[in-house]
Amino acid sequence: MSFRCRGCAGENVVPVVDLGAQPCADYFPAAETPGPDPRWPLALWLCRGCTLVQLGPVEPQLPEEPLAVESATSRAHAEASAKEILGEYPDLNVVFEFGSPHGGSWLEHLTAAGTRLAEDGEKADLVVDVHGIVHEPRYGEMLKLRADRLAPGGLLVMEFHHLLPLFVGNQFDTVRHGHWVYMSLRALRNLAALHGLAVESVRQVDMYGGSLLVMLRHGADAHPDASVDVVLEDEDAAGIADEVQLGTLQEAAWHAAGALHVELARHRAAGRTVLGYGAPSKAPLLLDLSKVTTDLLPFTVDLAPGKHGRRIPGSGLVPIRPIAELTAARPDVVLVLTWDIADEIITQLEDGGGWGATYLIPLPEPYERGR
C-alpha cells in the first residue's frame, strides 16, 4: 500500500512503525457500553523526500467529541508565551490565530497587550498556530494557508509536539488518530520552503512532554540564528529522519507496555490498590498495548465532567470517574496517565490533603516517584 505524503505530496513514503489496530483516541463511550470498540490501523510512515513522519492511509470514522478540560499548565504557558513574543517583537500589531482542539489560545493575552485581530481576509503581522495544524490531514495545504495569511515582514509562530522527545523518550502513546503528523524541525524547514517560508529561530518548551516553538518568516525577511542549527544537529544525531532508526520505536513501545503490565500486576500481587489519574487521548493506546483491564486498574479519574460516566476505549473497559472518588479511595499507587503534567497533578492531590500515595509514571518505562 502507498499514498502521497501529507506534507509535500511526494510518493516516496514508507511505513516505519506499526502499532496495530487501535480505537479512536478521543472516543469515550458510556461506561456501560460493551466492547469491542471500532478500531483502525495506527502506523507511522516516513516521507523520504521531505522527512515528514505521519499517519499512514487511514480515515477514522468516529467523530471526536471535545470533552477535555484545559490544564493549568497549558493556560499558564499560553500567557507566558504571548507576553514573551510581544516583548521580543514589539512591532507586531495585527494578529491571527489558527485554533487548536487542545486549547492554549494566545488571543486573550495578545489582545490584552494592545494588538488587534485581523479582519476577514486581512494579512496579519503575527500568525499563531499552537498545536493546531497537526489535526489537519493535509498538512502541506494547511501550511500554505498560514503562509498566505502572513503579511510581508510578519512573523509566523508555530508550536508543536517535537518528534525528537517523542522518539528518544519513548512517548509512543502520543501517536493517535487525529494527530496526522509528528513534526521535526527538519521536516518543517523543508515544507516551509515550498511555501516561501524560512525558519528564523526555535525554542524548546516543556509542553506535552517536549515541544518546539518555531518562528518563521517569508524567505527574504528571515535571518536564521544559531538555535536552528542546534536543533537540527540534535535531530540528526538521534536519527529521526532514518527509517531504520525510527523503526526501533515499535520495539521500545511494546517493551514499555509490557513493563507497565508487569508493574501493575506486581502491585496487585502485593495487595496494593492502584487507581489512575487522567483520561487523556494518549491513554487508550497505552492501556491497550499494556493489556491493562479493570483487574489491574479498576478506574481512572479526570477533571473533565464530560468524561465522567464514560470509559477508556479499547479492550480494558476502564471507567472514568470524578477526582473525588480517587481521593476518597486513597489508593496506594496512582498511575499518572497524563504524565506530561505529572508535577501539576501530584501538587494538586498532595496540596488537597494527600495521603502519601506513590505515583507511577508509565514512560519512557514505568518508574515511581513521591511528591
Check: CB of residue 232 under 8 Å from CB of residue 164: no
Average pLDDT over residues 217-224: 90
Check: CB of residue 115 under 8 Å from CB of residue 95: yes
Helix axes 226-238, 185-193, angle to 10 degrees: 120
Average pLDDT over residues 288-314: 96
Label residue 213 by pLDDT band (50, 70, 90): very high
Residue 83: CB atoms within 10 A of its CB come to: 15
H or E element that contains 320 = strand 320-321
Average pLDDT over residues 200-213: 94
Mean pLDDT value across the chain? 93
Closest of 117, 127, 144, 116 to residue 85, by C-alpha: 127
pLDDT of residue 344: 92
Share above pLDDT 90 across residues of the chain, in percent, rounded to a whole number: 80
pLDDT in tens, 104-148: 788 889 999 889 999 998 999 999 999 999 999 999 999 999 999
Average pLDDT over residues 221-235: 95
Who contacts 250 (Cβ-Cβ below 8 Å, separation ≥6)?
17, 18, 19
Given a cut of 70, whether residue 300 has pLDDT beyond it is yes
pLDDT in tens, 40-83: 999 999 999 999 999 999 876 666 666 677 788 888 888 889 89
Given a cut of 70, whether residue 363 has pLDDT beyond it is yes
Given a cut of 90, whether residue 103 has pLDDT beyond it is no
pLDDT of residue 66: 60
Residue 322: CB atoms within 10 A of its CB come to: 16
pLDDT of residue 35: 82
Return the C-alpha cell found at 151. 503579511
Residues, the chain: 371
Q: What is the DSSP letter of 365?
A: S
pLDDT in tens, 251-262: 999 999 999 999
- Does the predicted model carry a pTM greater than 0.85? yes
Check: CB of residue 24 under 8 Å from CB of residue 64: yes
H or E element that contains 324 = helix 323-329
pLDDT of residue 306: 92
User: How many Å apart are CA 192 and CA 189, to the nearest integer?
Assistant: 5
DSSP string, 113-158: TT-EEPPTT--EEEEEEES-GGG-S-HHHHHHHHHHHEEEEEEEEE
Share above pLDDT 70 across residues of the chain, in percent, rounded to a whole number: 97
pLDDT of residue 220: 82
